[in-house]
Chains A and B, each alone.
Chain A
Amino acid sequence: MIATESLSKRFPRVTALDRLSVDIGPGVTGLVGANGAGKSTLIKILLGLSPASEGRARVLGLDVATEGAAIRERVGYMPEHDCLPPDVSATEFVVHMARMSGLPPTAARERTADTLRHVGLYEERYRPIGGYSTGMKQRVKLAQALVHDPQLVFLDEPTNGLDPVGRDEMLGLIRRIHTDFGISVLVTSHLLGELERTCDHVVVVDGGKLLRSSSTTDFTQTTTTLAIEVTDSDEHPDGTRAVREALHARGVDTHAEGAGLPGAGHILLLTAAGEETYDLVRDVVADLGLGLVRMEQRRHHISEVFTGSDEQRKEAVGHGG
């Protein structure tokens, strides 16, 4: 879908993109980075609206430098900021935008009705946009990006300004864009947790550089960290401690759980060496006469990419100095 080759964009004072090479396939791809990481710059270049300082990029097999118009015909774009005139209805506005994408008048009206229904706007689509809630406006913005049935959409921070429920609905909608509509998605966000659930693939950029690009399952791959929670008994008023000591006695180390978190003191984390660790835990708990409330595998969080990279950077700086 998208391929960039040592793509750079330099402004007089800042380097927005620094030799970014990334390959993005079909599906939902998250583009993650802090504000100013170069996400929006990348989208502008991919839409063929801003020339790259060096390097090349192709979208849907088309060169961004020479075939921008052809790309923009097949691609949808939902900007981060407000972009809706308040004095027209959603229907009028989206019909107009459909025609701007080259749809004949009748098709523009049909597609508008379909698309607004798919993003979840019904009766209110005949009312002026000025009276809409933030969630509804985001839906109109999404609808105008989808109305011409593109092969790929760029969604710039689509969950910005939404409450948790609206956020979940928007993420569900984004997921459906790919699964039900068959349209690939490139969605930017600075919130990693969101993309974990929604995306097949995550690209992390920082300071214009590629930090990591891999599938979401790689990011959150099942690790061998086990979380254990046990009950207390009269014999062992602090069951957790008893288990920890018993495990230590058998040569199994436990990790300190993130301090300060509620309930953290009641959860033991340990690295499972293999199948036998599970049996060991079971036996230890049974011998102590305690109840095993839970024993589960812990998953990596995407956010660890950031903390990890920070450490790497510090190391790099340390080596340099």
Chain B
Amino acid sequence: MAVEHPPAGPGTLGTSRGDQSRIHDIGYRGYDGPRLGRAYARRSLYSQSLRGAYGLGRSVKSKVLPMLLFAVMCVPAAIMVAVAVATKAHELPLAHAYTRYAIVTQAVISLYVAAQAPQAVSRDLRFKTVPLYFSRPIETADYVRAKFASLASALLILTGAPLLVMYVGSLLAKMGFAHQSEEFAQGLVSVALLSLLFAGIGLVIAAVTPRRGFGIAAVIAVLTISYGAVSTLQAIADAQGSAGAVPWIGLFSPVTLIDGVQSAFFGGRSSFPGGVGPSHGEGAVYVLVVLGLIAACYALLIRRYKKVGL
């Protein structure tokens, strides 16, 4: 190392007088400033985790996947807007685009959850960083809430951004303002529900294992395979003439749950066989199941972290 004539580098109080320029130990200084407490620490953890979910403040390598998935989500929306504008259409090319969009792109969303949920919680478990958090003012509930909220927000950004692209695009193309706004609002409500549900499921699975790869595989399995299985069963039930069972089968996968809720209440087309979603009554069950699942995920996370402790 250059000891002879170091320029006054960052963090040093170097003087440039001859070769006496050395780092001066100015002694220990205490801290008398404000200590902002639990709520501030929780907010800091939230923003750090949210940034981390898009690889910000982390290595270049960890930015690639989330940014790529974000682009993959937004590009089709932009293309649809472009097509609508070019053809001077009065509707977006995809019917009920705002609510259908997340269902059509569910594989991308699942992939994102699978990649980022373990990133959010498995690292702290694997490297045993958790005790450092809990030896500070924040408590189990603060940690869980911050992580839950950050992943849900990251998902909302991922799923909400293409809706925003379509909304802005449709207004620029002078499509009906009231109609577009109503559908956009409905779309936002359903992606908000989806974000909470997917974040909860992803975090619960990821919090069980300190192994990141394992977490990724498990999240993909739960989100995607359950959707495949449920869709297949629904198709079989429909083909066998027991269409009444179709909505009830749909309760068993996260994607069909969200699909059911929005097609029951927002009148959207469903991905269910025959394109008919649950009735209002069945839809109420869907809503209860979704909210119950979100609450259950939160409770499970709290329970999990009570044990990790110190």
Contacts and interface: CB of A to CB of B under 8 A. Distances in A.
Interface in A212-241: none
B48 A96 contact: yes
A101 interface: yes
Contacts of B34: 102, 104, 107
Interface string A86-129: 11100010001101111110010001011001100001000000
B80 interface: no
Given A49-B310, A87-B58, A149-B31, A103 B132 contact: no
Interface stretch (A71-79, A255-263, A274-282, A298-306): A71-79
A102 B135 contact: no
A107 B310 contact: no
A114 B29 contact: yes
Nearest to B31: A149
Interface string B70-107: 00000000000000000000000000000000000000
B37 interface: yes
Contacts of B139: 69
Nearest to B1: A123
Interface residues of A, number: 42
B11 A113 contact: yes
Nearest to B124: A85
B128 A44 contact: no
B22 interface: no
A188 interface: no
Nearest to A75: B135
Given A79-B132, A83-B128, A73 B28 contact: no
B5 interface: no
A241 B129 CA distance: 61
Most chain A C-beta atoms within 10 Å of own C-beta, residue among B27, B31, B34, B128: B31
A49 B128 CA distance: 16
Contacts of A70: 137
Contacts of A254: none
Nearest to B26: A114
Nearest to A40: B310
A49 B134 contact: yes
Nearest to B138: A100
A1 B70 CA distance: 52
Given A107-B33, A182-B30, A83 B137 contact: no
A144 B127 CA distance: 15
Nearest to A69: B137
B45 A84 contact: no
Contacts of A69: 38, 137, 139
B54 to A, nearest CB: 16
A83 B123 contact: no
B136 A100 contact: yes
B177 interface: no
A99 B44 contact: yes
Given A85-B129, A97-B132, A107 B41 contact: no
Nearest to B139: A69
Given A81-B128, A84-B129, A86-B127, A101 B30 contact: no
Nearest to B40: A102
A44 B30 contact: no
A47 B135 contact: yes
Contacts of B33: 103-104, 107
B274 interface: no
B51 to A, nearest CB: 11
B137 A73 contact: yes
Contact of A104 (B36, B131, B138): B36
Contacts of A139: none
A277 B123 CA distance: 67
A49 B143 CA distance: 15
B309 interface: yes
Contacts of B129: 83-85
Contact of A103 (B36, B48, B138): B36
A79 B31 contact: no
Contacts of B138: 100
B265 interface: no
Contacts of B266: none
Contacts of A9: none
Given A72-B136, A100-B138, A181-B28, 16 more contacts: A44-B309, A47-B135, A49-B134, A69-B137, A85-B123, A85-B127, A85-B129, A97-B132, A100-B45, A101-B41, A101-B136, A102-B34, A102-B136, A103-B33, A104-B34, A114-B29
Interface of A: 44, 47, 49-50, 69-70, 72-73, 75-77, 79, 81-88, 92, 96-97, 99-104, 107, 111, 113-114, 117-118, 123, 144, 148-149, 180-182
25 contacts: A44-B309, A47-B310, A49-B134, A49-B135, A50-B310, A69-B38, A70-B137, A75-B135, A79-B131, A84-B127, A84-B129, A86-B127, A87-B58, A97-B132, A99-B44, A99-B48, A100-B41, A100-B44, A100-B133, A101-B41, A104-B40, A107-B33, A107-B34, A114-B28, A148-B35
The 5 closest A-B pairs by CB, nearest first: A149-B31, A77-B135, A102-B35, A99-B44, A181-B28
